[in-house]
Amino acid sequence: MALYGWELLRGLGITLTHFVRSYVRGTGRPPHPSPSSRPSPLRGEGDRVRGEGVRQPVSQDGLFTVEYPDERLAVPERFRVIPFLVYNGKGGEPLTEAANRCTACGICAKVCPPQCIWIVQAKDAATGKPKPKPSEFSIDVDVCMNCGLCAEFCPFDAIKMGHDFELSGPERQSSHIFDMPRLAVPTERYAQTHPIAWAEEEAKRAAAAAKKAVAAQAPHPNPLPGGEREKGEGGEL
């Protein structure tokens, strides 16, 4: 077959079109925030920054470049990286045993495919009996495969999947084992980062509490077999 080189020219034409259009299209797009107005990407105190997010609308043809790290992709709420522990409280409040939603039931550790969750159940200091609280809770983030099964099966809404993907560190021996203080996030923060899930869970909890109130007023107070768990769920508020 003879090659005349027309296709080479056509290919160059296609590339040139892309090149020109990359300057023309998306000009109406809002400018990315200036560095000073961006939230600090520094982590700490369970403060996970979502960043000033941009997302390509489907109506905009082609693809635009996200100028990371000045801009970053707005992540959908279900986006999952490393799990975190939710405790009842506001930002800045310390994690106390009472506020901790986790009951050390171990379902997350049992369902974890790479077995990266390690839990030590707390013991009562006086009697030595085990308590439904964790005294240690660590996740080996080198091993975590970000699957989200722990969050999916937690009956107490205590473990959720975080959005923070900027996790690189200079060493792995100590900083890649996330312990309980590192994993703990207050409900206030969780409600901001996961508004839809938060609203759904609150509605469910309210419904369960209402049901329980009705059951308490009912003439026969026999506890249902599932009563223990409902108490755990409803009692968090």
Partner 1 sequence: MTLQRIIDGQSLKSARWYDAKADAEIPVPVLGPDLVDVRRIPEIRVATLSGTGKEEPVPKSLPSCVAAPAVTPEGGRRELVAQITAAVGAGAVQAQGDALLIAPAQAVAVARFLRDEPSLRYDYLANLTSVDYQDCFEVVGHVISTARTEKPLALKLRAPKPDPRVPSLTSVWPGANFQEREIYDMMGIRFDGHPHLKRILMWDGFDGWPLRKDYLEPYYEEPGKMFSSRWKDGHHQRAEDRVRWHDNVQYPAGWDPITWKPSDEETAPPADNAGVSVQRGADGDLLVVNLGPQHPSTHGVFRMKVAVEGERIVGLEPIMGYMHRNHEKIGERNAWIMNFPYTDRLDYITSMGNNFGYAVAVEQLTGAKVPERAEYIRVIMAEFTRVLSHAWAIGFLLNDLGAFFTPALYAIEERELILDLFEMASGSRMMCNYFRFGGVAADLPPEFLPMATALVRERLPKAIDQLDRFLTRNEILTARCRGVGVLTPGAAIAHSTAGPVLRASGIRYDVRRAQPYSIYDRFAFDIPTATAGDVYARYQVRLAEMRESLKILTQALKELPGGEIIAGKRAWNLRVPAGESYGRVENPKGELGYYVVSDGTDHPYRYHVRSPSFMNLTVLEQMCRGHLVADVVAILGSLDIVLGEVDR
Residue ranges in contact with partner 1 by CB under 8 A:
1, 3-4, 6-8, 10-11, 14-15, 18, 55-56, 58-59, 61-63, 75-80, 104, 106-107, 109-113, 115, 117-121, 130, 136, 138, 140, 145-149, 152-153, 161, 177, 196
Nearest to residue 148, comparing CAs of 82, 76, 202, 100? 82
Rounded Cα gap, residues 164 and 228, in angstroms: 34
Q: Least distance to partner 1 from the beta carbon of 228, Å?
A: 17
Closest CB 100 distance from partner 1, rounded Å: 16
Q: At what angle do helices 195-217 and 227-234 cross, to 10 degrees?
A: 130
Nearer to partner 1, 110 or 204 (CB): 110
**Toward partner 1, which CB reaches closer, 48 or 89?**
48
**Smallest distance, partner 1 to C-beta of residue 140, A:** 6
- Cβ distance to partner 1 smaller for residue 11 or 41: 11
The span from the CA of 91 to the CA of 184, in Å, is 11
Residue with tokens 């080198």: 142
Smaller CB separation from partner 1, 89 or 198: 198
Report in angstroms how near the CB of residue 222 gets to partner 1 at its nearest: 23
Q: What does the longest C-alpha to C-alpha distance in the chain come to? A: 93
- For residue 203, the minimal CB distance to partner 1 (Å) is 15
Alpha helices in the chain (DSSP H): 6-24, 107-111, 149-153, 180-183, 187-193, 195-217, 227-234
Of 11 and 39, the one with the shorter C-beta distance to partner 1 is 11
Cα angle 213, 229, 83; round to 5? 120
